[in-house]
């Protein structure tokens, strides 16, 4: 995979899909900045694993839903490396409940964690990438942005917002050679989906044409493609990685 840039920040990279993205991008020669919120030990272990495999990594702890902390983190990266070439807005949370039991606080807290954090990341990336007239951003949305899901009014709204926001950022970044794309993963085997009861998991698998949950690496390789020079004419796009569950 060919990359003209040199470094990448991945939010929520201590575990799950984010950790896989970090490993895959490091294997393609990028310096990866591993962001975590609370899983410091996991982030440190991931850095060691990447370095043991010959890659370059740094750990940067901050809460992606804290605007000032996110802005400071990007400043730290630019001070250290002279630029930020790529950003993956991956940090995300769920707070599932049926809509009739969902408070405005339950709704807004998920919007803030998933959508507002990605907005701040895209905005700051656009500012620093504009100076080099180069950059690429991938936002991790979800299949439920496209299909909807009972019990996830808040989560699906946050992920749907990411898709339309990505298109608007793509329009603002295009004249400066900065691309913005989104990915909508289906059900991927991570802590987030391990929390589901076995019968619920099976009911989802029955609806997936490829008859299995995805592996985080399968999302990570798609992120790598969209960030890379091979996707140089793709912007404002949303790629599904869902085993055919929603076409």
Nearer to ligand NAP, 177 or 215 (CB): 215
Nearer to ligand NAP, 110 or 133 (CB): 110
DSSP three-state, residue 32: strand
CB of residue 62 vs ligand NAP: minimum separation in angstroms?
Answer: 7
Is 155 part of the annotated catalytic residue set? yes
DSSP conformational letter for 177: T
Is residue 14 within 8 A of residue 39, CB to CB? The reply is: yes
Angle of helix 216-227 relative to helix 16-27, nearest 10 degrees?
Answer: 50
Which of 28, 36, 155, 246 is catalytic? The answer is 155
CB of residue 139 vs ligand NAP: minimum separation in angstroms?
Answer: 9
**How crowded is residue 161: how many other Cβ atoms within 10 Å of its Cβ?**
19
Nearer to ligand NAP, 45 or 176 (CB): 45
Nearer to ligand NAP, 61 or 236 (CB): 61
Nearer to ligand NAP, 3 or 213 (CB): 213
CB of residue 117 vs ligand NAP: minimum separation in angstroms?
Answer: 6
CB of residue 132 vs ligand NAP: minimum separation in angstroms?
Answer: 25
Is residue 175 within 8 A of residue 208, CB to CB? The reply is: no
Distance separating alpha carbons of residues 238 and 193, to the nearest angstrom: 22
Is residue 60 within 8 A of residue 91, CB to CB? The reply is: no
Is residue 184 within 8 A of residue 241, CB to CB? The reply is: yes
Contact residues: ligand NAP, CB under 6 A: 11-12, 14-18, 35-39, 63-65, 90-93, 113, 140, 142-143, 185, 187-188, 190-193
CB of residue 13 vs ligand NAP: minimum separation in angstroms?
Answer: 6
Distance separating alpha carbons of residues 156 and 152, to the nearest angstrom: 6
Q: Any alpha helices (H) in 174-197, and if so which ranges? A: 191-194
Place of tokens 């500012």: 127
Catalytic residue numbers read: 155
């Amino acid at each position: 995979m060919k990359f003209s840039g040199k470094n990448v920040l991945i939010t929520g990279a201590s575990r799950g899909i984010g950790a896989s993205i970090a490993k895959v991008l490091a294997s393609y020669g990028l310096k990866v900045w591993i962001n975590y919120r609370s899983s410091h030990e996991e982030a440190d272990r991931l850095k060691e694993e990447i370095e043991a495999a010959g890659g370059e990594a740094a750990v940067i702890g901050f809460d992606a839903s804290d605007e000032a902390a996110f802005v400071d983190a990007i400043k730290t990266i630019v001070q250290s490396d002279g630029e930020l070439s790529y950003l993956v807005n991956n940090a995300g949370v769920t707070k599932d409940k049926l809509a009739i039991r969902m408070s405005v606080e339950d709704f807004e807290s998920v919007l803030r964690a998933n959508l507002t954090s990605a907005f701040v990341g895209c905005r700051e990336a656009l500012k620093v990438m504009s100076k080099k007239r180069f950059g690429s951003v991938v936002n991790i949305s979800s299949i439920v942005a496209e299909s909807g899901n009972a019990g996830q009014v808040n989560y699906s709204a946050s992920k749907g917002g990411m898709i339309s926001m990505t298109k608007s950022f793509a329009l603002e970044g295009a004249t400066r050679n900065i691309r913005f794309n989104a990915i909508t993963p289906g059900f991927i085997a991570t802590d987030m989906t391990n929390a589901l009861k076995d019968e619920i998991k099976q009911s989802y698998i029955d609806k997936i044409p490829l008859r299995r949950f995805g592996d985080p690496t399968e999302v990570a390789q798609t992120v790598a493609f969209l960030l890379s020079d091979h996707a140089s004419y793709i912007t404002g796009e949303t790629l599904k990685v869902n085993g055919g569950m929603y076409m």
